[in-house]
Amino acid sequence: MIINMNTILECNQITKRYSSLTALTSVNLSLGRGKVIGLLGPNGSGKTTLIKIINGLLVPNEGTLLVNGQKPGPETKKIVSYLPDKSYLPDWMKVKDAINMYQDFYENFNKNKAYEMLKRLDLDPNRKLKSLSKGTKEKVQLILVMSRDADLYCLDEPIGGVDPAARDYILNTIITNYNENSTVLISTHLIADIENVLDEVIFIKEGHITLHNSVDEIRSQEGKSIDTLFREVFKC
Amino acid sequence: MEWELSSDRPIYIQLIEQLQAAIIAGNLSPGDKIPSVRDLASEAQVNPNTMQKALAELERNGLLYTERTSGRYITSDKELIMKLKKQSAKSQIQEFIEKMKLMGFQPEETLALIEETIKDK
């Protein structure tokens, strides 16, 4: 197989079953570098399953998935920065402990960048995670994830539980921190909030990829927003 | 700069229109340096790729130019800006004439009405 240097992620006929439930069916996907891509689908459509496979937390029953030409494993974990959909940091930690932990774990973690972003948030690194509100905790986790100099960022529902002002902060953090060599994959169902920062969108419906196109292309072809199109495609 | 983006049209086209409008209106002056792609993108809350695409298009039509080491500038070619200004005015006028036609006014009658309105002011 010829590996395109511009491809960061390649999925080939990925199928994932959980006993009787098929979460992903023959997913083919190829993602380029230097883009912000939305993985959009309703609850239970397979978004988190796909992201977990990319991160090597789940193994597909069929098909292959390559990150930068390699199967998920220690090498790909170095270049993929993952924000899970749940909180994962121990509550007893202070913000600065979490930063130190990331520093220990990841060669490509940029401590200065993390502290700079904290400063902009006006957040004291000596605060305990337990004392932070849900939204602030989510911001801290995003700061940790975006402070890595990664090739692929996988953000699972990064704007789920936060207020609109925090949403703007998070989106700004995302678009100011990725570079032309890295790609950001954002899974969400809150489309209206993020569609202006996306280069491409992927629609996922009941484990099938139904659409993968550039946002500008869709808007000029359909004459409507991604949000409107999504509501039509996924109408209950 | 204030940005207003609707979500039913390609963003880069709206960015081009709004930058052009700012240049025509003189909010961005000829020869001025414009902020970096990242700063502009952050200000408009859009993806830097999209802002880059819009700026590249404005460079192609000559409204912006790049100095290799120091950044992007607005053209000092005032004639070009004037030409664009006229184009933009003409399309507004055409749109207006069409609307007046729908109301049953011929272009000469519309013109007379315009003169009358200006005098009344």
B47 — contact with chain A (CB < 8 Å)? yes
| Domain-embedded: residue B1 | no
Residue A5's pLDDT is: 62
State percent of chain B over pLDDT 70. Answer: 100
β-pair type (A200-205, A36-40): parallel
Alpha carbon B101 to its chain's center: 26
Residue A2's pLDDT is: 45
CB A27 within 8 A of CB A14: yes
Distance from CA of A133 to the nearest CA of B (A): 25
B4 — contact with chain A (CB < 8 Å)? no
Residue A151's pLDDT is: 95
Q: Which of A120, A196, A200 is best to mutate for the B interface (most B CBs within 10 A)?
A: A196
A197 — contact with chain B (CB < 8 Å)? yes
Task: Tell me the C-alpha distance between B24 and B20, whole Å.
Answer: 6
* Of residues A34, A224, A226, nearest to B49 (C-beta): A34
∠ CA A44-A50-A52, nearest 5°, is: 105
Based on the fold, state whether residues B84 and B68 are members of the same structural domain.
Answer: no
| ipTM of predicted assembly, 2 dp | 0.74
What are the DSSP calls for B5-32, one per residue?
Answer: --TTS-HHHHHHHHHHHHHHTTSS-TTP
Residue corresponding to tokens 């597909």: A60
| Domain-embedded: residue B44 | yes
> Residues 6 or more apart from A175 whose CB is under 8 A from it?
A36, A197, B41, B42, B45, B46, B47, B48
CB A122 within 8 A of CB A50: no
Residue A211's pLDDT is: 95
User: Which residue from A234, A227, A230 is spatially nearest to A195, judged by alpha carbons?
Assistant: A227
Based on the fold, state whether residues B45 and B92 are members of the same structural domain.
Answer: no
**Confidence class for position B70, pLDDT limits 50, 70, 90:** confident
- Say yes or no for a CB contact (<8 Å) between B8 and A224: yes
Task: Tell me the C-alpha distance between A175 and A35, whole Å.
Answer: 10
CB B65 within 8 A of CB B72: yes
Query: Which of the 8 DSSP states describes residue A92?
Result: T
Based on the fold, state whether residues B107 and B94 are members of the same structural domain.
Answer: yes
A35 — contact with chain B (CB < 8 Å)? yes
Cβ contacts (< 8 Å) between B9 and chain A: which residues?
Answer: 219-220, 223
Quickly count: other Cβ atoms within 10 Å of residue A3's Cβ.
11
| Domain-embedded: residue B88 | yes
State percent of chain B over pLDDT 90. Answer: 75
Q: How many beta-carbon contacts under 8 Å exist across A and B? A: 53
B106 — contact with chain A (CB < 8 Å)? no
* Of residues A175, A216, A226, nearest to B48 (C-beta): A175
What are the DSSP calls for A14-33, one per residue?
Answer: EEEEETTEEEEEEEEEEEES
Task: Provide Rg for chain A, Cα atoms.
Answer: 18
**Full domain range(s) for residue B63:** 11-76
pLDDT of A3 strictly over 50: no
pLDDT of A4 strictly over 80: no
Count of domains in chain B? 2
- Token pair recorded at residue A205: 């419906």
User: Mean pLDDT of all residues in chain B?
Assistant: 91
* Of residues A175, A199, A216, nearest to B42 (C-beta): A175
Residue A168's pLDDT is: 86
**Confidence class for position A229, pLDDT limits 50, 70, 90:** very high
Quickly count: other Cβ atoms within 10 Å of residue B72's Cβ.
18
Based on the fold, state whether residues B54 and B107 are members of the same structural domain.
Answer: no
Structure confidence by residue, pLDDT tens digits, A28-86: 999 999 999 999 999 889 999 999 999 999 999 999 999 999 999 999 999 999 999 88
CB A135 within 8 A of CB A161: yes
Task: Tell me the C-alpha distance between B121 and B117, whole Å.
Answer: 6
State mean pLDDT over A148-166. Answer: 88
State mean pLDDT over B20-33. Answer: 90
- Say yes or no for a CB contact (<8 Å) between A197 and B47: yes
**Confidence class for position A1, pLDDT limits 50, 70, 90:** very low
| Domain-embedded: residue B3 | no
State mean pLDDT over B38-46. Answer: 91
- Say yes or no for a CB contact (<8 Å) between A197 and B46: yes
Task: Tell me the C-alpha distance between A115 and A111, whole Å.
Answer: 6
Alpha carbon A107 to its chain's center: 20
Task: Tell me the C-alpha distance between A86 and B32, whole Å.
Answer: 47
B72: amino acid identity, one letter: R
For B71, what's the count of Cα atoms within 13 Å in the CB-facing half-sphere? 12
Distance from CA of B16 to the nearest CA of A (A): 14
pLDDT of A174 strictly over 90: no
- Token pair recorded at residue A197: 């920062």
- Say yes or no for a CB contact (<8 Å) between A196 and B46: yes
pLDDT of B63 strictly over 50: yes
- Say yes or no for a CB contact (<8 Å) between B45 and A224: no
A184 — contact with chain B (CB < 8 Å)? no
| Domain-embedded: residue B6 | no
Based on the fold, state whether residues B27 and B60 are members of the same structural domain.
Answer: yes
Cβ contacts (< 8 Å) between A225 and chain B: which residues?
Answer: 7-8
CATH number assigned to the domain comprising residue B72? 1.10.10.10
Based on the fold, state whether residues B36 and B15 are members of the same structural domain.
Answer: yes
pTM of the model: 0.85
Residue B28's pLDDT is: 87
| Domain-embedded: residue B27 | yes
- Token pair recorded at residue A163: 């207020």
B48 — contact with chain A (CB < 8 Å)? yes
Cβ contacts (< 8 Å) between B41 and chain A: which residues?
Answer: 175-176
| Domain-embedded: residue B4 | no
Alpha carbon B90 to its chain's center: 13
> Residues 6 or more apart from A177 whose CB is under 8 A from it?
A113, A146, A147
